[in-house]
Structure formats: structure tokens, C-alpha cells
A and B are shown apart, each in its own frame.
Chain A
Amino acid sequence: MRIFRAIFAHTSGRIGGTIVLLYLFIAALGALGLTPHDPLMQYRVDRLMAPNATYWMGTDLFGRDLASRLMTGIGQSFTVAFFSVAVATLAGTALGLTAAWFGRLWDGAVMRSMDVLLAFPAILLAMLIVAVFGAGTWNSIAAIGIVYTPIFTRVVRGPALSLKTREFVDAARTFGSSGRYILTRHLLLNLVAPLTVQVTLALAWALLTEAGLSFLGLGTQPPAPSLGLMLSDSRNLMETAPWLMIFPGLTIMASILGFNLLGDALRDILDPKTRRSRA
């Protein structure tokens, strides 16, 4: 509870937190089917209508309601972002912790493998993985998860290495605690703060990568609504129906902005070192 109060006492935390909560609420409405219209229903007579009282954000080329599609699309993007960041956090934390704990060969093997993954620009690696396994929601999750795993490995390994040599770890060992107990209870608990910040920022990148993949036609497949795909489809209709571009564009932007602001606030709150020079 204290962390929530701290976030809402922080200016960018308040803005970012509100945006994220609002998106979660909209995503939940979309998931429950509480959209103004059926997002897949084609109202043929109402094709390419500008925003009006019936269709708040207008309709697309097939007469589908843009607002309803955006609501469902937000849920879709957030699902991919949350699951992929969960994959990256779990894999990265496990790899980083064990690399720091066991050291030697395992550490070398893990860190060099992460160097290999880091040698690819994120979107390119995600594209390569999708090329191998095929486009689709679960493959996007796997691809984005793999792409961001090395970042979590690095974030965890560094502090874990220095925590390992601290006295309380020696003390725990003297008391006969098992390696697994020390790893999960002592090391992991001390890494919660940097991990929280990283997770929030990674959610912003994951949203960006997901939108990018689906913009390129490699993410969520039609007719399922996806923000990136909607934006990509709007390109040819830009002059006649600019709302098809403006609303999805702003929706993607604001969601990324929300997580970026929240991540910045969390960094300020949880990491005393950055307080002085926060940007």
C-alpha cells in the first residue's frame, strides 16, 4: 500500500499510474465484451463514417466500430506485453541469479549467450523469431520475451554478485540455510526494487515492440483487432479517414507514455541514487 501512496504522491507517477489504470479498466471492459458495438461486426452501410454519436471514433473500411476495436485491441496489446515481460522477468531473473550464485562456467555460458542475444537490434530479433515460428499472439509473446530476457539477466546478475559477498548471506550460510533458500529469500527479496522498475519500463518497450510487429503484419493476425495492425491498415485511407490513424496512434502512444512515466516515478522512489539527477 505504501508504494501506491508514494507513486501517487509523485507527479509523473500520478499521471503514469492514472493512465495505466485507465487502460487496464478499458482492457477489462473490452475483455468482458462491454464494448459499444461488436468489434468484429461489419456494419456495411456505415462504412468509413467520421466520429459521431453512434460510432464515437468512427468506423473503418468494413464498417466496424473503431472505438470497440480499440478497446479490444488494448486488451490484446496488454496481454502480449504482460505475458512477454513475465517470460523475460522469470527467465532473466533465474539466469541472472544462478549465474551470479554458481559463477565460473555457468556464469560464462549464461552471460555469453546473453551477449549473443544482445547483438541483435530488438525488433530484428523479434522478427527473426516470428519468421521461424510463424506470426501470431503466442509467438509474439515468446519472441518479445526472449528479446528482453538479457536485460533482466544483467539487471539481476550485477547486484546479485555484490549481495552474494555481503555478511548476511555468510550468516545465513553459517546457520545452514540451503543455497536455494538463500537465493530466493535473501538475494531475490533484495532485488525486488530494481526488478520492479525494470518490469515497468520493459512493459513500455514490449507494447512498442508488439505494436511494431503487428504493424509489420508479423503479430496478431486479422480479423482480431490489434493496435499496430489498425494503424497499418489506416495508411491507404489517411486522407479520407484520418480518424483511423489518429485514434490508434494516440492510443499506442499514451499507453507507452503511461508505463514510461510510471517507470520513471518508481525509479525515483525506489532508487535513492537517481533522486538527485532525475530526468
Chain B
Amino acid sequence: MNYLTRRLVTFPFVLIGVSSLVFVAIRMVPGDSITAMLGTDAGLLTPTQREALAVYFGIDQPWFVQYGRWLLGLLQGDLGISVTYGKPVFEVILKRFPLTLELALLSMIIALSVGVPAGVFAATHNERPSDLAVRIVAMIGQSTPSFVLGLLIIYALSAGFGVLPIMGEFSPLWQDPLANLSQLIFPAITLGFAFAASVTRISRSAMLDILSEDYVRTARSKGASSRSVTWRHALPNALIPVVTLSGIEFGYLLGGAVIVEQIYALPGLGRMVLGAILQRDYALVQGTVLFIALNFMIVNLLVDLAYFALDPRIRLRDR
């Protein structure tokens, strides 16, 4: 069985594993979920009321019945009710997701459009001062946490230009594209900076490898211009590891959005899950974590498919 088939076959099993882990983790929280849901109000309940609530939420059942019901609900898109929002978890997630997705995509666009040219430039100027400069910037970029960069950007904006990034109320892309972009551009730079550094480093090293391949030498000896060799012959193959990196990073962008959304006070998925953790809204934590993990898994699967499409030589056995 080749790598891809095995990947497709194991996908549902990993998904079951992920959902079980989330289910078990949430049930390991000390105290029962009624107390967790109601907080201090739980002390006011009479035993009969408590029992009624337990029956209502199904937590009077043994764990395997609870898990079965939860999985069944999951298949129907029912992730339970959020205590803090008083709405179905899925609805709350869908309301917040566009912002986080847009932020992740925008960061990715920034990272790729800066990182790939920088990597190619460094590789074609190998061991020259300009290569060294790119490598130093990339190394610093990779070592800069998003929360440090985010605060520095906000500080620079306010101290240098007397402006602050727009925070709070979010304007969706389809309603006011300009306001939306001006709101998201700095968070996206913050999130995309370290990613751009990784892209630079990986495209540089992939380009270096490929520029020493025989077929590139052949193209050169046939008289192809240096520009055509770089961009037409070498770059497409050097992009393969960049695609893999982008897939892996996309998940981190979704997760890393937690911190960036927090700094810029953006009402996205990450900020919501942090709030849910702090307020012990377990249905919401459970649903959101699962939702992000599922997205991450799907993106990684797509990347593996892209990997096969891009390079037919690759027949991965073990990774």
C-alpha cells in the first residue's frame, strides 16, 4: 500500500482518535460539567434540579453512551450548546471562522510573496553579502514570536505615526473590503513574518539543491538565459518543499491566530477559544478545538495530494 492510500485509509481513524481525545480531555476536567457550566450558581441547585439537568445534558448516562451520542451529534453538525453565548456551538464557530481563515490566508499570501523571491534571490547570490543579509533577516524572523512583533508594530505605529490599528468591531470582507483589509493587514504581517522567514530559508535551500542538478546544467549549456533557468527550470521544482511547509504552517497559522487575535483584539476563532477556556465553556472549547484540528487535517491531506500531483517521482513509503 503506498503512502497516499494509507493516508486516505487512516484519515477516518485519526479523526476518531482526535475526537476521542478532545472528548476524554474535556471530561477529565475536575468537577462535573454542571458545576463547570453554572459556576457558583451550581451551589443553588436542589438535588432534583441537578438530576434533571444531568438527564437533560445526557451526563447521567455511562461514558460510552455519552460518547456515542456526542459522535452522532458530531456527524449531524451538532456540537452542543455554548453556555456563554447561549447558541449552538457550530453557529458560534461559523460566525467567527471567516475572520480567522482570512487572517491565515492573508498571512500566507504575504509570507509566500515575500519568502519565495527572497529565497530565490539568496540562492542565486549564494555566499555573497546579499545572501548573508537575507539569511540573517530570515533567522531573526524565525526567532521572533508573533506577540513580540505584534506589540512592536503597535508601538511603532502609535509612537511613530500616532495611529493605532483599528480594533474591536470587525468589518467583513464582502461588506467593506477596504476597512477589512486595513484592519487585517497588520495582524497578517505579524502572523506571516515568521512564516515568511521559514519560506525564505526553505526555498533558498531547495533552490541551491536544484541549481546544482544535471538538468539545470543542461538548460544552461543549451544557452537558456540565467533568468529563464532560475524561474522556469529550477523554481517549479524548488517549490515542492514550500508547498509542504505551507500546509503544515497553515495549521499553525490557525492556531497561532490565538495570540495575534488577542493582541489586535480581533473577534476570531482563536480569541474565542481562549475566552472559552478562561470561562470554562467546555462545549465551545471542545467544538472549536475539534473544528480547527479537522481543518488542519484536511489541509495536510490536500497538501499530500498536491505533493503527488507536483512530483510524480515521489512515492513516499515512510515519513
Contact = CB atoms under 8 A, between A and B. Distances in A.
A123 B259 contact: yes
Contacts of A130: 277
Contact of A124 (B140, B151, B155, B258): B258
Contact of A211 (B147, B158, B258, B263): B147
Contacts of B143: 204, 253-254, 256-257, 260
Given A116-B18, A121-B292, A212 B205 contact: no
Contact of A123 (B206, B258, B263): B258
B142 A260 contact: yes
B94 interface: no
B40 to A, nearest CB: 18
B144 interface: yes
Interface stretch (A32-40, A58-66, A177-185, A234-242): A234-242
Given A116-B17, A119-B14, A261-B139, A238 B155 contact: yes
Interface stretch (B60-68, B74-82, B249-257, B306-314): B249-257
B148 interface: yes
A113 interface: yes
A256 B145 contact: yes
A115 interface: yes
B17 A115 contact: yes
Interface stretch (B24-32, B47-55, B229-237): B24-32
B18 A121 contact: no
Interface in B251-286: 251-252, 254-256, 258-259, 262-263, 273-274, 277-278, 285
Interface in A183-235: 204, 208, 211-212, 215-218, 228, 231-232, 234-235
A217 B278 contact: yes
A221 B204 CA distance: 41
Point out which of A113, A115, A232, A250 has the most chain B C-beta atoms below 10 A from its C-beta: A115
Contact of A115 (B10, B208, B254, B277): B10
A240 B19 CA distance: 46
A165 interface: no
A132 B27 CA distance: 8
A85 B90 CA distance: 36
Interface residues of A, number: 53
A36 B179 CA distance: 48
B204 A279 contact: yes
Interface residues of B, number: 56
A208 B145 contact: yes
Given A113-B17, A124-B255, 14 more contacts: A115-B10, A119-B297, A124-B258, A124-B292, A128-B289, A216-B258, A216-B259, A231-B147, A238-B151, A249-B151, A252-B145, A253-B143, A260-B143, A276-B209
A90 interface: no
B14 A245 contact: no
B202 interface: yes
Nearest to B285: A131
B21 interface: yes
A268 B298 CA distance: 34
A113 to B, nearest CB: 7
Label chain A's interface by main secondary structure. helix
A128 B13 contact: no
Given A122-B252, A239-B159, A132 B140 contact: no
B2 to A, nearest CB: 16
Point out which of A12, A112, A121, A256 has the most chain B C-beta atoms below 10 A from its C-beta: A121
A183 to B, nearest CB: 19
Interface string A82-114: 000000000000000000000000000000110
Interface string B220-250: 0000000000000000000000000000000
Contacts of A121: 251-252, 254-256, 292-293, 296
B109 interface: no
29 contacts: A112-B17, A116-B18, A119-B18, A120-B296, A121-B292, A124-B293, A127-B274, A128-B285, A130-B277, A131-B25, A132-B25, A132-B28, A132-B29, A158-B319, A208-B145, A211-B145, A215-B147, A217-B278, A234-B151, A235-B151, A242-B155, A253-B144, A253-B148, A257-B143, A277-B206, A277-B209, A279-B204, A279-B205, A279-B208
